[in-house]
């Protein structure tokens, strides 16, 4: 039996905890963690309303915090776990970080980075895994917008 | 004779002053200002080395500062002046701000947002002007990289 202590699901659950915090704070519920050598070195959730700043997506804050923690601009040995497919801004930021791997939960067909360009806007060295806990991650966002109607 | 006190050149000169500060601080020399009703409400230059943070582009900082100044997430009544064509991350951020107008100086054929996607990744309501003081803006970047070789 394979040990799955450090599985993608394990870390996505932590990203989902962050998304839940965003939900409770009346923010669009997206959460992220950055993992380095199986250790979470940054956690963040969407904070755009609180900070009155559209750039305060979970991923942006997580990148800044992870770089600060490592003392390195580049996150090539790190993995980003994020509950929703990154937008163009966040994928563009991921490019600059040269992050090793991006794992996301639910797809964002409207605002996700994959809809914006034919070729990926992530760094060519960045591995991508998607659909991890997609249902739970997507349900949180759907419930949020349903509650706003 | 048309009065050109508030011309695009007038404000691009201010963005260029910011880029010059970046050059002197040994940062990739890109500068930006955000203008609201003919008043500069935010100024910033690239600060990625100093902050050890690849997301600290001039535009990102200028958007955050402008939103803070106005107390509004949206910059639809503002113009961004930036010395170099925004990258994908910054254009993606500009999308979220719904900024009224983007004026840039030099083109960035390699990393500019226009190379990334067929359709513009800026907001459909955002007006774009390019090539303002392109020579001066581009020369600063070229000189910077020449000095690094």
**Backbone phi, then psi, for B4, in 5-degree steps?**
-120, 30
Domain count, chain B: 1
The answer to whether position B5 is within a domain reads no
Per annotation, catalytic residue among A59, A109, A127, A136 = A59
The answer to whether position A51 is within a domain reads yes
Which chain B residues touch A if contact means CB-CB below 8 Å? Answer: 48, 52-55, 60, 63-64, 67-68, 71-74, 87-93, 95-97, 116-119, 121
pLDDT number for residue A119: 82
- Whether the predicted pLDDT of B2 surpasses 60: no
Answer left, alpha or beta for residue A71, where phi above 0 means left and psi between -120 and 50 means alpha.
left
B108 to chain A, closest Cα gap in Å: 15
The answer to whether position A87 is within a domain reads yes
The SS3 assignment for B137 reads helix
- Told to judge if A59 belongs to the known catalytic residues of this protein, a careful annotator would answer yes
Q: How confident is the model at residue B52 (pLDDT cuts 50, 70, 90)?
A: very high
A&B contacts, CB < 8 Å: 92
pLDDT number for residue B21: 98
**Backbone phi, then psi, for A109, in 5-degree steps?**
-65, -25
Q: Among B73, B96, B118, whose Cβ lies nearest the Cβ of A52?
A: B73
Q: Which residue of A has its CA nearest to B118?
A: A117
**Backbone phi, then psi, for B66, in 5-degree steps?**
-65, -45
Contact A91 B95 (CB under 8 A): no
Mean pLDDT value across residues B41-63: 97
Q: For residue B139, what is the domain's CATH number?
A: 3.40.140.10
Structure tokens belonging to residue B86: 């925004």
The answer to whether position A28 is within a domain reads yes
The answer to whether position B6 is within a domain reads no
Q: Are B99 and B80 within 8 A, CB to CB? A: yes
Using CA atoms, how far apart are residues B149 and B147, in angstroms rounded to an integer? 6
Q: How confident is the model at residue A120 (pLDDT cuts 50, 70, 90)?
A: confident
- Whether the predicted pLDDT of B4 surpasses 70: no
In the DSSP assignment, the letter for residue B10 is H
- Whether the predicted pLDDT of A110 surpasses 70: yes
Chain B residues in contact with A63 (beta carbon < 8 A): 53-55
A66 to chain B, closest Cα gap in Å: 9
Contact A52 B71 (CB under 8 A): yes
Angle at B84 between CA B80 and CA B87, to 5 degrees: 85
Using CA atoms, how far apart are residues A20 and B101, in angstroms rounded to an integer? 35
pLDDT number for residue A2: 54
| pLDDT tens-digit map of A60-92 | 999 999 999 999 999 999 999 999 999 999 999
Contact B64 A55 (CB under 8 A): yes
- Whether the predicted pLDDT of B93 surpasses 70: yes
Q: Among B55, B90, B121, whose Cβ lies nearest the Cβ of A64?
A: B55
pLDDT number for residue A105: 98
Angle at A73 between CA A15 and CA A92, to 5 degrees: 65
**Backbone phi, then psi, for A92, in 5-degree steps?**
-65, -40
The answer to whether position B144 is within a domain reads yes
Q: Which residue has the tokens 């070789």?
A: B149
Q: How confident is the model at residue B118 (pLDDT cuts 50, 70, 90)?
A: confident
Q: What is the pTM of this model?
A: 0.95
Per annotation, catalytic residue among B24, B59, B109, B136 = B59
- Whether the predicted pLDDT of A117 surpasses 80: yes
The answer to whether position A5 is within a domain reads no
Mean pLDDT value across residues A88-104: 98
Contact B96 A55 (CB under 8 A): yes
Q: Are A45 and A72 within 8 A, CB to CB? A: no
Q: Which residue of A has its CA nearest to B120?
A: A116
Q: What range defines the domain where residue A118 resides?
A: 14-148
Q: Are B2 and B29 within 8 A, CB to CB? A: no
In the DSSP assignment, the letter for residue A110 is T
- Range with the poorest average pLDDT among A12-26, A28-42, A125-139, B112-126: B112-126
| pLDDT tens-digit map of A2-43 | 555 679 999 999 999 999 999 999 999 999 999 999 999 999
Contact A67 B52 (CB under 8 A): yes
The answer to whether position B47 is within a domain reads yes
Mean pLDDT value across residues A37-56: 97
């Amino acid at each position: 039996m394979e040990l799955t202590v450090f599985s993608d699901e394990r870390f996505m659950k932590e990203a989902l905890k962050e998304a839940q915090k965003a939900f409770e704070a009346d923010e669009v519920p997206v959460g992220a963690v950055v993992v380095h050598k199986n250790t979470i070195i940054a956690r963040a959730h969407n904070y755009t309303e609180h900070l009155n700043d559209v750039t305060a997506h979970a991923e942006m804050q997580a990148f800044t915090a992870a770089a600060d923690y490592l003392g390195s601009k580049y996150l090539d040995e790190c993995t980003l776990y994020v509950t929703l497919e990154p937008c163009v801004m966040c994928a563009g930021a991921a490019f600059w970080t040269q992050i090793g791997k991006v794992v996301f939960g639910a797809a964002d067909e409207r605002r996700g980075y994959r809809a914006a360009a034919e070729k990926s806007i992530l760094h060519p060295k960045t591995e991508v895994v998607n659909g991890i806990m997609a249902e739970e991650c997507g349900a949180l966002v759907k419930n949020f917008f349903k509650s706003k109607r």
